[in-house]
Structure 1
Amino acid sequence: MKSIVIEKPGTFALRDLPDPIPGESEVVVDVKACCVCGTDIHLLQGEFKGAEYPLIPGHEFSGVVRKTGAKVTNAKPGDRVAIEPFIFCQTCLFCKQGKTNHCLNGMVIGHTKSKAIKLDGGFSEQVVVPARNLIPLADSVSFEAGGFIANIGTLVYALRRTGLQHGMKVLVFGTGANGLILAELAKKSGASVVAVTGRTKSRLAVAARMGVDETVIADEKQDLNLRRLAPHGFDAVFETTGVAPIVERAFKYVTPGGKIVLYGIVPPDQNASVNPFDICRKDLQVIGSFSSVNTCIVAQELLASKVIQVDHLVSHRFALDEWGRAIETAKDLSKCMRAVVRML
Structure 2
Amino acid sequence: MQAFQVKAAHDFEVNEQPAPEAAAGEVVIDVAFAGICGSDMHIIHGDNAFVRFPRITGHEFAGVIRAVGEGVDAARVEERVCIDPVVNCGKCYPCRIGRPNVCSAMNVIGVHRNGGFAEQVAVPAANAYRIPEALDLDAAALIEPYSIAANVLSRMAPLPGDRLLVIGAGVIGLTVLQMARAMGIEEIIVTDILDERLATARELGASHTINGRDEDLERAVLAATDGEGIPLIADAACVPSMLPGMLRMACPAGRIGLLGFSATPSDLIQLEVIKKELTLIGSRLNNRKFPEVIAHIETGRLDPKALISHRVALREMPEAIDLLDNHPEKARKVLVRIGS
TM-score, length-scaled by structure 1: 0.93
What's the offset of the Cα at 1:19? 2.0
CA distance in 1, matches of 2:14, 2:173: 32
* Cα deviation, residue 110, structure 1: 0.9
Q: CA deviation at 1:75?
A: 5.8
Alignment partner of 1:342 is 2:337: yes
Q: Is 1:189 aligned to residue 177 of structure 2? A: no
| Distance in 2 between residues matched to 1:126 and 1:86, nearest whole Å | 18
Is contact 1:63-1:143 (8 Å) kept? yes
Q: Hey, what's the Cα distance between the residues in 1 that align with 2:188 and 2:295? A: 23
Counterpart in the other structure of 1:106:
106
2:303 is equivalent to residue 309 of structure 1:
yes
What is the aligned counterpart of 1:217 among 201, 206, 211?
A: 211
Partners of 1:323 and 1:341 within 8 A in 2:
yes
Counterpart residue number, 2:224 = 229
Give the Cα separation in 2 of the matches to 1:329 and 1:244.
Answer: 26
Asked whether the 8 Å contact 1:153–1:297 carries over to 2, the reply is no
Give deviations 1:134-166, integer Å, cap 9, x for gaps.
Answer: 111122222222122122112112111111011
- C-alpha separation between the residues in 2 aligned to 1:233 and 1:80? 45
- Is the Cα contact below 8 Å between 1:57 and 1:120 reproduced in 2? yes
1:29 matched residue in structure 2: 29
One-letter code aligned to 2:223: R
TM alignment of 1:173-322, pairs within 5 A: 173-223=167-217, 224-230=219-225, 231-262=227-258, 264-268=259-263, 270-322=264-316
Partner-residue secondary structure (3-state), 1:315 = strand
> 1:65–1:75: 8 Å Cα contact kept in structure 2?
no
Comparing 307-316 with 243-252, which one deviates more in the overlay?
Answer: 243-252
Q: In the alignment, what sits opposite 1:44?
A: 44
The match for 1:143 is: 137
Structural mapping, 1:67-82, within 5 Å? 67-73=67-73, 76-82=76-82
Counterpart mapping for 1:81-92 below 5 A: 81-92=81-92
Query: 1:221: how far off?
Result: 1.8
Distance 1:275 1:110 in 2: 37
Equivalent of 1:333 in 303, 328, 332:
328
Equivalent position SS for 1:232? coil
Between the aligned partners of 1:322 and 1:56, the Cα distance in structure 2 is 15
What is the Cα deviation at residue 69 of structure 1?
A: 1.3
Q: Secondary structure at the match of 1:293?
A: coil
Maintained 8 Å contact 2:68/2:74:
no
When the two structures are superposed, what TM-score results if normalisation uses the length of structure 2?
Answer: 0.94
Q: SS of the residue aligned with 1:159? A: helix
Amino acid at match of 1:170: L
Q: How far is the alpha carbon of 1:294 from its aligned partner?
A: 1.6
Write the distance in 1 (CA, Å) between the matches of 2:179 and 2:170.
14
Mapped pair 1:323 → 2:330: no
Deviation at 1:225, TM superposition (A): 2.5
Deviation for aligned residue 1:74: 8.2
Q: Deviations over 1:256-295 (max 9, x none)?
A: 1211111x21412x01112101111112111111222121
Contact persistence 1:110–1:122 (CA under 8 A): yes
Aligned residue runs from structure 1 range 109-148, under 5 A: 109-112=109-112, 119-148=113-142
State how far apart, in whole Å, the 1-side matches of 2:163 and 2:74 are. 41
Q: Structure 1 stretch 174-183 or stretch 12-21: which is displaced more?
A: 12-21
Distance 2:232 2:307 in 1: 25
Assess, with a 3 A threshold, how the Cα gap between structure 1 residues 158 and 61 changes in structure 2: closer, same or farther.
Answer: same
In the TM superposition, structure 1's runs of 4+ consecutive aligned residues that sit over 4 Å from their partners are none
Residues 177, 164 of structure 1: CA spacing in aligned structure 2 closer, same or farther, 3 A cutoff? same
Question: How does 1:50-69 map onto structure 2 within 5 Å?
Answer: 50-69=50-69
1:157 maps to 151
Is the alpha carbon distance of 1:232 and 1:75 closer, same or farther for their aligned partners in structure 2, counting shifts above 3 Å?
Answer: farther
Report how far residue 178 of structure 1 moved.
1.6
More displaced 10-residue stretch of structure 1: 307-316 or 329-338 = 329-338
Q: Is the 8 A contact 2:145 2:175 kept in 1?
A: no
Inter-partner Cα distance in structure 1 for 2:74 and 2:175? 29
Aligned-residue offset at 1:237: 1.1
1: CA distance, partners of 2:165 / 2:12: 39
Aligned mates of 1:312, 1:161 — CA distance in 2: 25
Amino acid at match of 1:95: C
**C-alpha distance in 1, partners of 2:198/2:74?**
41
Per-residue deviation at 1:220? 3.6
> Structure 1, residues 186-212: CA drift from partner, whole Å, max 9, x if none?
234333421101111121111112122
* One-letter identity of the residue aligned with 2:302: I
Contact 1:326 1:341 in 2 (8 A): no
- 8 A contact 2:168–2:235 mirrored in 1: yes
1:12 equivalenced with 2:29 (yes/no): no
| Partner Cα distance (1:199, 1:142) in 2 | 33
**Matches of 2:159 and 2:334, distance apart in 1:** 33
